[in-house]
């Protein structure tokens, strides 16, 4: 009996190497993916329309592609919008929420080495990274529980 094995549509793409940093870069190495995660964690964005209002002005085709990639890597997931079943709500998975400390470190690194804005956020992170990350986690979990 001959079996044809077709990978699932949402299966994780093959990586160039087994290096953990390479795996991270392949999943997140594009600015748009990181900015989408920022908007989910810090601004509470959950809809396609909200992502389009982001400061950086992402194009719809890029937004659609990056959301699909983040879903494929298990970093975000979707659920049906209770107010309109035709629309999706994007939600961080536990894997995605585990990126909060990484994102915090990236912000602090950039603020240390470059001229950046949002110094109030930077100072809050500098005061207590662990407390900041925990606050982001708790606020996100509370918001997603109350919206769905």
Identify the structural domains of the chain with CATH numbers, from first to last. 26-93 (1.10.10.10), 99-143 (no CATH)
What pLDDT is attached to residue 6? Answer: 37
How high does pLDDT run on average in the chain?
88
Looking at residue 4, its pLDDT comes to: 38
Q: What does the pLDDT look like over 4-31, one tens digit per residue?
A: 343 444 455 677 788 888 888 888 878 9
* Distance from C-alpha of 66 to C-alpha of 30, rounded to nearest angstrom: 9
Residue pLDDT, tens place only, 109-134: 999 999 999 999 999 999 999 999 99
| Percent with pLDDT over 90 in the chain | 67
**129 φ, ψ to 5°?**
-60, -45
- Nearest-10 Cα torsion for 11, 54, 143, 119: 120
Spatial separation of the C-alpha atoms in residues 94 and 117, rounded to whole Å: 29
- Report the pLDDT value the prediction gives residue 77, as an integer from 0 to 100: 96
Instruction: Give the residue among 40, 86, 97 at the shortest CA–CA distance from 63.
Output: 40
Q: Which residues pair with 76 in a beta bridge?
A: 92
């Amino acid at each position: 009996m001959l079996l044809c094995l077709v990978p699932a549509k949402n299966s994780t793409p093959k990586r160039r190497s087994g290096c953990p940093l390479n795996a991270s870069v392949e999943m997140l190495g594009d600015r748009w993916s990181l900015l989408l995660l920022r908007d989910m964690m810090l601004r509470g964005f959950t809809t396609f329309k909200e992502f389009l209002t982001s400061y950086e002005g992402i194009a719809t085709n890029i937004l659609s592609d990056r959301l699909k990639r983040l879903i494929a890597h298990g970093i975000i997931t979707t659920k049906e919008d209770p107010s309109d079943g035709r629309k999706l709500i994007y939600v961080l998975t536990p894997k995605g929420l585990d990126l909060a400390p990484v994102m915090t470190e990236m912000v602090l690194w950039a603020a240390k080495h470059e001229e950046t804005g949002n110094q109030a956020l930077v100072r809050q992170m500098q005061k207590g990274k662990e407390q900041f990350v925990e606050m982001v986690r708790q606020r996100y979990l509370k918001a997603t529980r109350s919206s769905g």
